[in-house]
C-alpha cells in the first residue's frame, strides 16, 4: 500500500512573501540612493531616502541615539554662521539622513528632515541683545521653511487642530531685531509642544535663562531642541514627530559653566534642577560644546 507524502505549507505564506518584497524594495531604494550620491556628490544635499522609506511603510521616525552610542558621528560645519557656537566650532552630532544646516540672523538650526523638527537650535546671546529684544514687537506670522525640501519640512496644516502648540526652540522673546523676530516663526524652529508645558514650566525656563544672561559678563550660548524616546508619535499629513522631552543647554563663555534643563513634553512637567553636560551627552549623543 503506497502512502502519499504530504507537503507542509508554511503558514501565512502571502504575508511572508509581502514582507520579503517590502524588504527587497527598501534595500533596493537605499542602495540606489547611496550609489547615486557616490557617483554624483552634488546630489547628497538634495536627495533624502526618508520619503522613499515612508512611501514603502518603513519610515516611522525613531531617534539615532543607538548610532551615536556605536560611534557614528558627523561633524557639522555652519560655514555661514559660526558665531552661534562657542569658539566658532560647530558640533559633532549622531549621523543620520536628511540633516541640513540653516543660518538665520540670530540663530542657527540643524534640521532633521525625518522628524521635520530641529536637532538643535543654537543661539549666542548677551545683555545688549536682550535689552534690544525688549523693544521688538512680536509678529506671530508662522511659515513653512522654503529652504527645506517639501518632503522634509513641517507645514502649517500639520499643526492645525493637532492639539499641540508650535513651540519655539529659539524663543521669540530673545530676538533683538525685527528681521530676527520674523525669522523665529519659521516652522523649522518649532516642535509640537504640549500647550500647558509651553506656557508653564518651559516659559519659566526661558525667562530664567534670559534673567541669567542679563547678569552674565559676556556671551552666553544656548542650545535648544527635542528628544525622542523610542518611536515618536506624529501629527499632520507630514507626520511631524512629537518629542517626548525638550532640552535647553546654557553655556557661559566667560565662566565656562554649563547646565541643561531637561523637561518632559507634558502638561504636568515642573521646572526642576538641571542636569550636567556629560549626562546630556549620554542621553542624546549630542556633543555641542568644545572639548576641554
Q: What is the DSSP string of 48-99?
A: -SHHHHHHTT------SHHHHHTT-EEE---TT-GGGSGGG-PPEEE--SSE
Structure pTM? Answer: 0.78
Predicted local distance difference test score (pLDDT) of residue 4: 44
pLDDT digits (tens, 9 = 90+) for 235-291: 999 999 999 999 999 999 999 999 999 999 999 999 889 999 999 999 999 999 988
DSSP secondary structure letter of residue 289: S
pLDDT category at 34 given cuts 50, 70, 90 is very low
Q: Is the pLDDT of residue 53 over 50?
A: no
pLDDT reported for residue 18: 53
Residue 64 predicted with pLDDT over 80: no
Structure-model confidence comparison of residues 57 and 161, the more confident one:
161
Mean pLDDT of 88-98: 93
Q: Which helix (H) or strand (E) holds 121?
A: strand 117-125
Q: What is the number of other CB atoms lying within 10 angstroms of the CB of residue 169?
A: 26
What pLDDT digit, counting tens, does each position of 184-237 carry?
999 999 999 999 999 999 999 999 999 999 999 999 999 999 999 988 899 999
Q: Among 168, 176, 197, 261, which one carries the catalytic annotation?
A: 168
The rounded mean pLDDT for the chain is: 84
pLDDT of 271: 87
**CA–CA gap between residue 135 and residue 17 (Å, rounded):** 64
Q: Is 176 an annotated catalytic residue?
A: no
The whole-number pLDDT of residue 230 equals 86
Amino acid at each position: 500500500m503506497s502512502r502519499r507524502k504530504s507537503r507542509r505549507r508554511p503558514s501565512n505564506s502571502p504575508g511572508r512573501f509581502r514582507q520579503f518584497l517590502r524588504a527587497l524594495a527598501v534595500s533596493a531604494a537605499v542602495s540606489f540612493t547611496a550609489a547615486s550620491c557616490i557617483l554624483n556628490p552634488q546630489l547628497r544635499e538634495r536627495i533624502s531616502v526618508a520619503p522613499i522609506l515612508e512611501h514603502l511603510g518603513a519610515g516611522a521616525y525613531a531617534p539615532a541615539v543607538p548610532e551615536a552610542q556605536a560611534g557614528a558621528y558627523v561633524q557639522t560645519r555652519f560655514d555661514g554662521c559660526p558665531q552661534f557656537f562657542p569658539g566658532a566650532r560647530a558640533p559633532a552630532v549622531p549621523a543620520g539622513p536628511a540633516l541640513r544646516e540653516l543660518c538665520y540672523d540670530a540663530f542657527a538650526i540643524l534640521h532633521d528632515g525625518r522628524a521635520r523638527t530641529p536637532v538643535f537650535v543654537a543661539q549666542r546671546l548677551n545683555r545688549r541683545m536682550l535689552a534690544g529684544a525688549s523693544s521688538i514687537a512680536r509678529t506671530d506670522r508662522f511659515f513653512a521653511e522654503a529652504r527645506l525640501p517639501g518632503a522634509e519640512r513641517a507645514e502649517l496644516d500639520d499643526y492645525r487642530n493637532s492639539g499641540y502648540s508650535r513651540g519655539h526652540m529659539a524663543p521669540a522673546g530673545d530676538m533683538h531685531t525685527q528681521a530676527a523676530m520674523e525669522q523665529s516663526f519659521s516652522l523649522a524652529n518649532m516642535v509640537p509642544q504640549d500647550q500647558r508645558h509651553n506656557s508653564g514650566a518651559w516659559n519659566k525656563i526661558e525667562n530664567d535663562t534670559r534673567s541669567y544672561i542679563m547678569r552674565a559678563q559676556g556671551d552666553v550660548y544656548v542650545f535648544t531642541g527635542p528628544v525622542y524616546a523610542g518611536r515618536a508619535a506624529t501629527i499632520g499629513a507630514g507626520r511631524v514627530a512629537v518629542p517626548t522631552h525638550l532640552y535647553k543647554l546654557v553655556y557661559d563663555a566667560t565662566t565656562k559653566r554649563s547646565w541643561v534643563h531637561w523637561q518632559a513634553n507634558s502638561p504636568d512637567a515642573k521646572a526642576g534642577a538641571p542636569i550636567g553636560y556629560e549626562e546630556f551627552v549620554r542621553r542624546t549623543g549630542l556633543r555641542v560644546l568644545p572639548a576641554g
